[in-house]
Structure 1
Amino acid sequence: MRLAVLADIHGNVLALDAVLEDMARRGGADLTVNLGDSVSGPLWPRETMERLEALNLPTVRGNHDRRVAVDPADETMWASDIYARQRLTPAQRDTLFAQPLILEIAPGVIAFHARPDHDEKYLLDAIVDRQLVRAPLAAIRRRLKALDPACRIALCGHSHRPELIRIPDGPVIFNPGSIGCPAYDDDTPPAHVSEQGSPHARYGIVTLGGAGQPDSFEMIAVEYDHEAAARQAEQAGRPEWAHGLRTGFMPEAARP
């Protein structure tokens, strides 16, 4: 079985379309799963939502999906979530909120956005010198306590950092990286940045072995018209998003 794994589209329909085209060139997948945070961002939230509604993919709810769906549109709401909320219909917001926090995609293959028991806490990452880095193995083990012991592959997103980790005597954890947002800053204490280091749209392919064959994992980076996405972010008044879309890094002012 061949799984395509999408995560953290963040309203970047140009990047999503490039990934879908790349998947088709590679022969497609038996199943495509979306790990959430689909629309939040100063880009094309409604167009992205419409594309995803047509695809009808198995999808888990991310923290920004929840915030777009239910948070009040006031000064306490993050700007990217306000932008998306204002451009979605009530029915589309209801669809976001109705998405499950966790899904079993195939026997022993579990999908969630951030952690199996929380949509907004990092699983594989720690904050060091205001940057996301890989967390110690002991910390990752503690964060996995809520995971079904029968899980052999866990699919997650949220950090936007591609990662593949095999937990000794535990599951393989696969984060494909972000399709539509290659860098971000988060001022929630402790403030930090996440940077993929290039403007590519990222996604993953997991091939489940079966019949004694090993599983395989591919991290894929796809070129697309990131300059058009950056211009869209600038028009929405988000120059820091534009910089991230162009470079895969945050502006110097946001970095340690």
Structure 2
Amino acid sequence: MRIAVLADIHGNVLALDAVLDDLRRRGGADLTVNLGDSVSGPLWPRETFARLEALNLPTVRGNHDRRVACDPADETMWASDVYAQERFTLAQREVLFAQPLTLEIAPGVIAFHARPDHDEKYLLDAIVDGQLVRAPLAAIRRRLKALDPACRIALCGHSHRAELIRIPDGPVIFNPGSIGCPAYDDSTPPAHVSEQGSPHARYGIVTLGGADQPGRFEAIAVDYDHEAAARQAEQAGRPEWAHALRTGFMPG
């Protein structure tokens, strides 16, 4: 069984279409899962929502999906969430909020956005000198306590950093990276940035093995018209997004 893993599209329908085209060229997948944060961003939230609605993929809710779905008066709203929310109907926002926190997409394969018990806390990452880096194994183990013991493969996103970690005597954890947002800054203390280091759209393919074999994992980077996406961000008044989309880094 081949599972295509999409995450953190953030309203970048151009990057999403490039990934879907690349997946078709590779022979497609038996199942495609969306790990959330689908629409928030100063790009094409409505178009991205429509594309995903037509695909009807199994999808988990990301922290930005939850924020876009919340009341407009909520003080936790960030500019990218407001941009998306203003372009959605109440019914569309309700669809976002109704997505589950976790989803078992195949026996022993569990999908979630950030952690199995939280949509906004990092699983595989720590913050060191304002940058996301891989967290110590002991910390990752503690964060996995809410995970079903029968899980052999966990699929997550949120950090926008491609990672593949096999926990000794535990599951394999795979983060494919972000399709539509290759870098971001987060002012939540401690303030930090995440940077993929290139403008490519990232996704993954997992080929399941037998019960005692976790399978094959492919982290894929796809080129697309990131300059058009950057111009869209500039038109929306978000030059830092434009820089990230062009380079994969936040402005220095």
Give TM class, smaller chain: over 0.9
SS at match of 2:86: helix
**1:189-231 CA deviation, whole Å, 9 max, x = no partner?**
0000000000000000000013766500000000000000000
* Residues 40 and 80 in structure 1, CA contact (< 8 A), matched pair in contact too: yes
Corresponding residue pairs, total = 251
Identity %: 90
Relative to structure 1, is the Cα distance of residues 169 and 13 closer, same or farther in structure 2, using a 3 angstrom cutoff? same
With structure 2 as the length reference, what TM-score do the two structures score?
Answer: 0.98
SS at match of 2:91: helix
By how many angstroms is 1:91 displaced? 1.2
**1:70-115 CA deviation, whole Å, 9 max, x = no partner?**
1424665200000000011211101000000000010000000000
* Residues 39 and 45 in structure 2, CA contact (< 8 A), matched pair in contact too: yes
Q: Distance in 2 between matches of 1:125 and 1:212?
A: 27
1:87 counterpart residue number: 87
Relative to structure 1, is the Cα distance of residues 62 and 110 closer, same or farther in structure 2, using a 3 angstrom cutoff? same
* Residues 2 and 207 in structure 1, CA contact (< 8 A), matched pair in contact too: yes
* Residues 73 and 82 in structure 1, CA contact (< 8 A), matched pair in contact too: no
Q: Distance in 1 between matches of 2:115 and 2:103?
A: 12
Q: Distance in 1 between matches of 2:84 and 2:245?
A: 18
Q: Distance in 1 between matches of 2:165 and 2:75?
A: 38
With structure 1 as the length reference, what TM-score do the two structures score?
Answer: 0.96
**1:106-142 CA deviation, whole Å, 9 max, x = no partner?**
0000000000000000000000000000000000000
Q: Distance in 2 between matches of 1:127 and 1:68?
A: 25
Q: Structure 1 runs of 4+ off > 3 angstroms?
A: 73-76, 211-214
Q: Distance in 1 between matches of 2:173 and 2:213?
A: 18
Q: Distance in 2 between matches of 1:214 and 1:156?
A: 16
SS at match of 2:73: coil
Which consecutive residues of structure 1, in runs of 5 or more, have no partner in the other structure?
252-256
* Residues 108 and 153 in structure 2, CA contact (< 8 A), matched pair in contact too: yes
Q: Distance in 2 between matches of 1:101 and 1:69?
A: 14
2:202 counterpart residue number: 202
Relative to structure 1, is the Cα distance of residues 147 and 211 closer, same or farther in structure 2, using a 3 angstrom cutoff? closer
Q: Distance in 1 between matches of 2:71 and 2:198?
A: 31
- Could you say what the CA RMSD is over the residues aligned between the two structures, in angstroms? 1.1
Q: Distance in 1 between matches of 2:222 and 2:2?
A: 19
Which consecutive residues of structure 2, in runs of 5 or more, have no partner in the other structure?
none
Q: Distance in 2 between matches of 1:39 and 1:211?
A: 35
Q: Distance in 2 between matches of 1:81 and 1:75?
A: 11
